[in-house]
Structure 1
Amino acid sequence: MTTTDPDLAADIDACCRLSGEFTLRSGQISNEYFDKYLFEADPQLLARVAREMAQLLPADGDLLGGLEMGGIPIATAISQLIGMPTLFVRKEAKTYGTCKLAEGPAYDGRRITLIEDVITTGGAVRDATDALRAGGAIVDTVVCAIDRSPEGVNPLDDVGLEVRAVLTKAELDAARAAASR
């Protein structure tokens, strides 16, 4: 799937690709890191990403589920574009106050499209999916800004999730290569 914004990959790559040694959530070590907060903090770039992600949403969704923390600003931006309510999904339920896993409308029996910033192995998405399903939600799709997983591999196939990405690592690498010519 290719973005309809032809310059988005180059702009995201220039904005948020960092070089060095980074430990990913999965525990993997990487010599590059896509700091999604750099594009999420830029209102114009965030709006462009949100527009592209909105085009990838399944038609039968009831709620967006923005994953803590990076998925929340994206889900909020998409929600404002399309008018769909949003859940803010925590990594784990609060131990105080309402003790909720997800803040927002009730989700039991509703179809949630998860919104994530970057997926490599899908650990955070997998955890959220399991928790939301245990609460009665129907979760079968995640839409992300960047899919870093190996090309042709769905890291969330084991939990029956379809991954839809605005950009893949290969597309970002191609944008980087084109910029250096």
Structure 2
Amino acid sequence: MKTELAKQIYEVAHLTGQFTLRSGQVSHEYFDKYLFESDPEVLRKIAEQLMSIIPEGTEILAGLEMGGIPIATALSLHSQIPAAFVRKKAKEYGTCKLAEGTDIKGKQVCIIEDVITTGGQVLLSAADLKQSGAIVRDAICVIERNLEGRRKLEESGIRVHALFTMEELIEASLP
């Protein structure tokens, strides 16, 4: 079932054509993570598989803006663990909150992200969440793109729990 899901994610999100990457380089392949996050059937299967890697003691699932939010929501529905939605920067009006939804202060918060590549945004958000009173020791991602991100996060005290590596997705897509 997990291998079939890996294949399905790759088939839904792997695009071919001509794409300009963030770096400015041009590529003939692109992996559009929002395509698997917006597919209700794939998202349901992802949440079902992620259930087994939620760290024990998790009290809040903190979905990072933008890609972690649909995953945290689906996982919250399956696990019945409340969710919070974490902005890259606290809004400057209304409640001025960094994390919307369930109160995170003093709670065991597990960061939810779609793809971890360098770990940079997870590190920034973890620091912000800790400053807001959360206890952050774990991050879950659907796809671990490379080991650099894991290494940086683990060096800072955050355990990474990945459903798939990019290599596993590619391997599952091969005939």
In the superposition, the TM-score normalised over structure 2's length comes to: 0.90
Aligned runs of 1:1-181 on 2, under 5 Å? 5-19=2-16, 20-24=18-22, 31=27, 32-150=29-147, 154-176=151-173, 178-179=174-175
- For 1:44 and 1:98, the matched residues in 2 are separated by 34
The answer to whether the Cα contact below 8 Å between 1:147 and 1:167 also exists between their aligned partners in 2 is yes
The answer to whether the Cα contact below 8 Å between 1:109 and 1:137 also exists between their aligned partners in 2 is yes
User: SS in structure 2 opposite 1:6?
Assistant: helix
The answer to whether the Cα contact below 8 Å between 2:118 and 2:149 also exists between their aligned partners in 1 is no
Gaps of 5+ in 1: none
Query: For the structure 1 residues 134 and 153, does the alpha-carbon distance in structure 2 shift closer, same or farther, using more than 3 Å as the test?
Result: closer
Q: Which amino acid aligns with 1:94?
A: K
User: SS in structure 1 opposite 2:115?
Assistant: strand
Shift of 1:6: 2.5
The answer to whether the Cα contact below 8 Å between 1:120 and 1:155 also exists between their aligned partners in 2 is no
Query: For the structure 1 residues 29 and 58, does the alpha-carbon distance in structure 2 shift closer, same or farther, using more than 3 Å as the test?
Result: farther
Query: For the structure 1 residues 104 and 168, does the alpha-carbon distance in structure 2 shift closer, same or farther, using more than 3 Å as the test?
Result: same
- For 2:142 and 2:59, the matched residues in 1 are separated by 20
User: SS in structure 2 opposite 1:37?
Assistant: helix
User: SS in structure 2 opposite 1:76?
Assistant: helix
Query: For the structure 1 residues 174 and 111, does the alpha-carbon distance in structure 2 shift closer, same or farther, using more than 3 Å as the test?
Result: same
Shift of 1:28: 8.6
The answer to whether the Cα contact below 8 Å between 2:3 and 2:172 also exists between their aligned partners in 1 is no
Shift of 1:33: 3.5
Q: Higher helix share goes to which structure?
A: 2
Give the count of matched residue pairs. Answer: 173
Shift of 1:18: 2.8
For residues 147-166 of structure 1, give each alpha carbon's deviation from its aligned partner in whole angstroms, at most 9, with x where no partner exists.
Answer: 10138952312321111111
More divergent stretch after superposition (12-21 vs 150-159): 150-159
Identity %: 45
Gaps of 5+ in 2: none
